[in-house]
Every structure is written in structure tokens, then in C-alpha cells.
Amino acid sequence: MTFHHVAIETNRLGRAVQFYKKLGFLFESEIELLGEKIIFMMLDGFRLELVLVEEDVKLTPNKHIAFEVENLDEMLERHHEFILYEGPYAFENGWQSAFIIGPSGEVIELLQTS
């Protein structure tokens, strides 16, 4: 398992992109998953996911850390003690993911990209 990204919700995507560019982040890619516009940015191997939410949605501390796994199904089968929060999902770009709850209530995404 390897680190993949940290996600932050924003209702001002352009402003967020410009802010992180000032910190040295570079644009990596833009995708749409489950109807959400998402921009990935990189800084020295650290990937940041900016997720656009509707303007009138109250922003919450809805953030997650994501780890890339080789085989999502196998990981979930092997660890029955994981509390599934969302998913598993299969996306148009071939990725698969599931969200679990960590021991302190944190949201962790397990992501298979191949």
C-alpha cells in the first residue's frame, strides 16, 4: 500500500487552485467522478485532491486521506474488521475505491488505479 492523496472540499475551485499554486503545487489532472468535478495537484510527490461542491453547500471538515492498494477486493476481504463508510465504487477511468473509517473516526480511501 502506498500513499495516494489527501482530499479537500471547496465551493471555490478556481480560488483553491490559485491558492495552492502559490504554495508551489502544479496542476496534475482534472476529472469528473460521480458527478463531482475534481482537480488533482502535485507538490514534490504529494498529491492534493480538490473536490468542487455546490456554492450553497455548507463546507464541513470532510477530508480524507487515500492509500493506493494493488487489489481493493482482496484488501476488503482480508480485513473484515474494516468499517465500510462508502463504496466500493467503480469509476469510468478504471479506478475502484472504497472508504473506510479509521480508529479515530477519520475517513480513509482505499484506491485501486489499475
The enclosing H or E element of 98 equals strand 96-101
pLDDT at 57 over 80: no
Please report the sign of the dihedral spanned by the C-alpha atoms of residue 67, residue 96, residue 10, residue 32: positive
More confident residue, 80 or 106: 80
| Predicted pLDDT at 99 | 94
| Predicted pLDDT at 96 | 96
Q: CA dihedral defined by 2, 88, 50, 113, rounded to 10 degrees?
A: 40
What's the whole-number mean pLDDT along residues 75-102? 91
- State the CATH number of the domain containing residue 50: 3.10.180.10
Give tens-digit pLDDT for 1-10: 888 888 888 8
Q: Tell me what the pLDDT averaged over the chain comes to.
A: 87
Whether the link from the prior residue into 88 is cis, omega within 30° of 0, is: yes
Per the structure block, which three cell numbers stand in for 13?
475551485
Domain count for the chain, please give it: 1
Per the structure block, which three cell numbers stand in for 56?
450553497
CA angle 82, 88, 89 (to 5 degrees): 155
Structural domain of 48: 2-112
For the whole model, what pTM was predicted?
Answer: 0.66
Instruction: Report whether 37 contacts 49 (CB < 8 A).
Output: no
Give tens-digit pLDDT for 14-44: 988 998 898 888 999 999 987 889 999 998 8
Per the structure block, which three cell numbers stand in for 107?
475517513
| Predicted pLDDT at 90 | 93
